[in-house]
Amino acid sequence: MKAQILAAIGETELQPASSLNAALAANDRLKYFFSLLQMALAYAEHPEQEAATLKRERIACGIDDPDLDAAIASARITGKSCHVSGAATMMGRIADDLRLMAAPLRGPQGEDFAGRLAHLLATLPDAANDLLDPEAVSAMMRAGHDGPDSIHRLVMDLHKQLNTMQAALATETLDGAATYNLDVIDRPLVAAFMAGLNRTAKLKFNHPGLATTATRAGEKLLIQNDIGTTDAHVIVIHVQNLSVSVTYTDVHAERLEFFQEMLKPHEVVWEGNRTAVMAAGAPFYMATGRFEATTQAACQAYLEFLGSRLVFLIDWNRARKQLRGFLRGPDRLALLRWAAETETGHRGFLELGGAHLVNQAIEAAAGSSMHFGDRLCDVLGDAETIDFLRFVFSTTTSGLFADQSHALINDRIRAQLATHVQNQGQQLLRLAADHAGLIFELASTVRDGLQADSGDAGKHARRARRFEHDADHMVMETRETVRRRPDYAVFLPLIVAADESADALEDAAFFLNLDTLRGKPLEDLQVLAGLLVDSSQEWIKALGHAHEIGTASGNAEMEDFLAALDRIAAIEHEADDAERKLTEVAFQHAEDFRQLHLFNALGGKLEAAADALKHASLLLRDHMLEDVING
């Protein structure tokens, strides 16, 4: 298929060099004409689609005929035929280029190809009046070996033979690249490309690939790399002066996009979106990007960077599939981008089993937490799972380089996953602590709104509404985590109880917006509001101490934790007394019935908030003493 898609431009051989370069140029042009004809026929069948021009591909292969840029858009079905502007001329050029490709072959093998060529040239579709028979074109493009011979199969076979001859033709190996016919100015450019390639090539481990050839064709330096073993996966680089053109082909559109994204730091200009081309009955994708350097040093730096990226394309799609059971689609791509950017790579992960490696760790460390259909991100959460898989990629890569035993690497991964699984409780405690911070903000908002010189009760009510909204989201996040991890179910009633305090405080802030409170009852209401601020501070302390218990904490941490809980209980009793006193004073000194009702309503909400915090604190106490300390 590398020949089949005709993307390996200039990797032929033969003597003399001029004949080989002519075959190289013919190969390039045939790739263009095959693509142009197939896309024209496809457009004629579906003219509602946008028509491509393949202008960049035409220019890159040296065809000076701008009229061809309109061939696809001009294609129309006419009866059983398809009219394509310039089709007759194209068929003549295809015949000429086929002869040029076969020209370097000599001896009995050359005679065999010459016989096939003569027979197949007679089968070229008749393009009189630029009319093509779609079935004849399809037969010409057929590449399988289970049917009659075809022009496309001849091109494939010619190209395979030229590949074999090329290795023998190479006159020098430059930093691992097979080279021939290089000029003096080419050597530092090839060396730069190979410096990047060789720096990261070790990350492919035992996988074949990254073979590089380089030659001069006319005014251009041509570098080709076969990347991996996938037939339609080739990159061809043309360098002319300070301009670097990259033609990349792939059977996976997603990997093509990944490749383009890797080159973003150098602001490569691509010719529109990827172009889908049909070959041998299966799609592949081709993209051409150009980088214009301003100096020779910048040109060499780009070539070095380009060479260093190729290893991250090997088995990329396989790695993406192996990650399906652990991450969502965008996060899988993000992980592979990280692996390339940090030059960690994904091949170590695949060498040691890929998904099987991680599934073994899950079975050992988190089996009881997983349910049928769950991905790892459903259990740990997206961020934690990405963090863990980064560890897996790094550990497999570094472990293989250090020649560590596979058993040791597996054990390190299992231990790390166990840490992430156990951290779920710590994460829920941190979430509860963040929620406690919002309760403190709500209590402070109510207290500040009761100040005589506040003057903007509406502002306080709006702030309280935002805090309460954020608190609700944290409750939902906890509920979702507990759904994934039912063994941490205790945290849901805990945060729900605390959220009742947030709800009561937000209601209190709303009541403040209804009227301006005055008189002696206001002083008692301010005392009660101050107690809620104190209680919320103690709740924050309790959660902070709870987070440390069970790690490297000592008795002091536990003492501080219990003291904070005790203070919350004491404040709840004080709030009861303060609320009763408020009721009494309001009954005696309120200006009217509306003021009396408002004082009592506010007092009830603040007392309910204190009760809710006490309830939450008792749930936390039971969990820490029974599950964490004794568990």
Cβ 543 vs Cβ 433: under 8 Å = yes
Average pLDDT over residues 379-396: 91
User: Poorest-confidence range of 4-13, 214-223, 334-343?
Assistant: 4-13
Considering 167-171, 256-260, 372-376, 488-492, the range whose residues carry the highest mean pLDDT is 256-260
Using pLDDT thresholds of 50, 70 and 90, give the confidence band for residue 217.
confident
CA-CA distances (angstroms) from residue 477 to 296, 388, 501? 54, 20, 18
Q: What is the pLDDT of residue 184?
A: 92
Using pLDDT thresholds of 50, 70 and 90, give the confidence band for residue 159.
confident
Q: What is the pLDDT of residue 290?
A: 93
Higher pLDDT, 66 or 313: 313
Average pLDDT over residues 475-493: 84
In the chain, where the domains are located: 17-167, 172-314, 317-404, 423-629
And the tokens for 573?
A: 């009793």
User: Poorest-confidence range of 97-111, 193-207, 595-609?
Assistant: 97-111
Ramachandran assignment for 181, one of left (phi > 0), alpha (psi -120 to 50 degrees), beta (any other)? left
Q: Which residues are CB-neighbours of 112 under 8 A, at least 6 positions away?
A: none
User: Poorest-confidence range of 83-87, 174-178, 268-272?
Assistant: 268-272
Name the packing angle between helices 382-401 and 329-341 (round to 10°): 40
Is the pTM higher than 0.75? no
Q: What is the pLDDT of residue 20?
A: 61
Higher pLDDT, 444 or 452: 444
Q: What is the pLDDT of residue 7?
A: 36
Using pLDDT thresholds of 50, 70 and 90, give the confidence band for residue 629.
low
Considering 38-42, 123-127, 185-189, 545-549, the range whose residues carry the highest mean pLDDT is 185-189
Average pLDDT over residues 195-207: 94
**How far is 384 from 450, CA to CA, in rounded Å?**
43
Using pLDDT thresholds of 50, 70 and 90, give the confidence band for residue 2.
very low
Share of the chain above pLDDT 90, in %: 48
Q: What is the pLDDT of residue 366?
A: 58
The domain covering 423-629 belongs, at the CATH homologous superfamily level, to Phosphate transport system protein phou homolog 2; domain 2 (1.20.58.220)
Higher pLDDT, 366 or 384: 384
Q: What is the pLDDT of residue 16?
A: 40
For 250-288, how does the pLDDT look when each residue is reduced to its tens digit (9 = 90+)? 888 899 999 999 999 998 999 865 555 544 455 677 788
Q: What is the pLDDT of residue 181?
A: 80
Using pLDDT thresholds of 50, 70 and 90, give the confidence band for residue 11.
very low
Using pLDDT thresholds of 50, 70 and 90, give the confidence band for residue 144.
low
Average pLDDT over residues 215-242: 81
| Chain position carrying tokens 């051409």 | 288
Residue 12, pLDDT > 50, answer: no
Cβ 305 vs Cβ 196: under 8 Å = yes
Name the packing angle between helices 457-484 and 406-449 (round to 10°): 160
* Other Cβ atoms within 10 Å of 419 Cβ, number: 13
